[in-house]
Amino acid sequence: MKLLIKIALIVGPILLGTYVSTLERITSEMKMIIWIACLFICACALYSALRERKKKEEEIKAKEFLQNSLERTELLSRRHSEKYVNGLGRNPLLKHFYNKGMKYEEDAKFAKAIKELEKCLHHPGATEENKVAANILIGNCYYWMSELNEAEKYYKEALKINKKVKDEQERLEGKSGVLSNLGNIKIELGEAKKALKYYKKSLYISKKIKNKQRIANVLSNIGLVYIDLHKFDEALEYHEKALEIYKDIGIAEGIARTFNGIGNIYTRSNKHEKAVKYYKASLEINKKIGSRLGLLTSFGNIGLSYLHLDKIDDAFEYFIRTLEISKEIGYKQGIANSLGNMGLGYIIKGRNNKGLVFIKEALKIHKEIKYEQGVAEGLHMLGSIYNELGEFDKGIKYLKSSLKTYKRIGVQRIIKQILNQINLIETKERSIH
């Protein structure tokens, strides 16, 4: 109907003017006035149609840019870190430091937690088992602070000490926990295949010692790897297996985390309404159990889904919540992710300058914490934005920097995508000149 009206407004005045010009009873001056009026109406209608077409093209372009950008934007899905306490709370010499450290960790005060756990680690009364557990717990704190190299150092030290543990059950418990956590490090660094090897080794041991919760944890982590690899059927299969175990043993935190993972599958499959349903189910559980890190994950993922659904203002409400929580708990990567997502929202709204400020601030934080995948994503996003703005030199500069970073961490799928982008920009530049 709208199309017919537009055609009528363009063609109608011309037909009317033509008809009037054939009438003998109307003076030449009047015919001229009517013709001018008809042409004015026609021109206005044509201008309106062209403007609307341009607006639609820009909307399509914005949606394509959003899709490409969110493909690179990390969906918040922190992997489960195995705690493996192993007697730290029962050893009377270490109990006080352990309890203090765990309270700090629960409150997301990771630096303070590390100080208390270091006291457990270096206490003369600590057994080999205690040292394995303390190294793992310290590594977990560094992991949450996005200091991945430090986290990996403590996990590997735990694995080294674990070989000295005499009790086979305890030794296997420690080993499966460390292997799973090392898998977390690898996936955060963008090394999905290496992560998968660690997880599958951990899963094998966890099944051998019949640790149901760890089996579910590792299954969930494997599911997240398959999301990164775009193998969504396998991802859903592993998440559903994990969910079944979590429900069977009553682990609410695990259920919430798995709902987020399933939501991520639907997000990557462009089923955003369905994704929101799972993210909100996760959000309700995290509210009940009071998990601030869980809330951070759920809020962030709902915000990203709303960007996809063109509900930009709703998305910002959730991003503001993730920013508040991240600042509260000192989670720098969360702060950077929140700023980057808000920047993307501003770009979609057409506020390019403000969007660039937010994205550059996010990139700065990722560089400070040496989170290379975040750096690569930020550089890629900036390169894509400058390309869309027609600033091709800047676009290529950022894309090449992103390419270099992605090559260093080995994310092959994105490397191919960036090479294609650079080739397209260079071709476009040549055609202009």
pLDDT beneath 70, residues of the chain: 1-25, 31, 33-35, 38, 45-47, 49-89, 108, 146, 409-413, 429, 431-433
Provide the residue ranges of all domains of the chain, joining segments of one domain with +: 2-61
Q: What's residue 328's pLDDT?
A: 86
Amino acid at 302: I
Q: What's residue 406's pLDDT?
A: 83
**Polymer length of the chain:** 433
Q: What are the structure tokens assigned to 84, written together?
A: 């493996």
**Cα–Cα distance, 223 to 367 (Å, whole number):** 28
* Helices 292-308 & 332-348 angle (0-180, nearest 10): 20
**Cα–Cα distance, 408 to 397 (Å, whole number):** 17
Q: What's residue 16's pLDDT?
A: 59
Residues 213/251, Cβ–Cβ less than 8 Å: yes
Q: What's residue 147's pLDDT?
A: 77
Residue indicated by tokens 């869309």: 388
What is the reported pTM? 0.73
Residues 388/61, Cβ–Cβ less than 8 Å: yes
Q: What's residue 74's pLDDT?
A: 43
* Per-residue pLDDT tens over the stretch 341-367: 999 899 888 888 899 999 999 999 989
**Cα–Cα distance, 381 to 399 (Å, whole number):** 8
Q: What's residue 1's pLDDT?
A: 54
E-assigned strands of 19-136? none
Residues 383/395, Cβ–Cβ less than 8 Å: yes
Residues 131/122, Cβ–Cβ less than 8 Å: no
Q: How far is CA 401 from the centre of its chain?
A: 20
* Helices 312-329 & 332-348 angle (0-180, nearest 10): 160
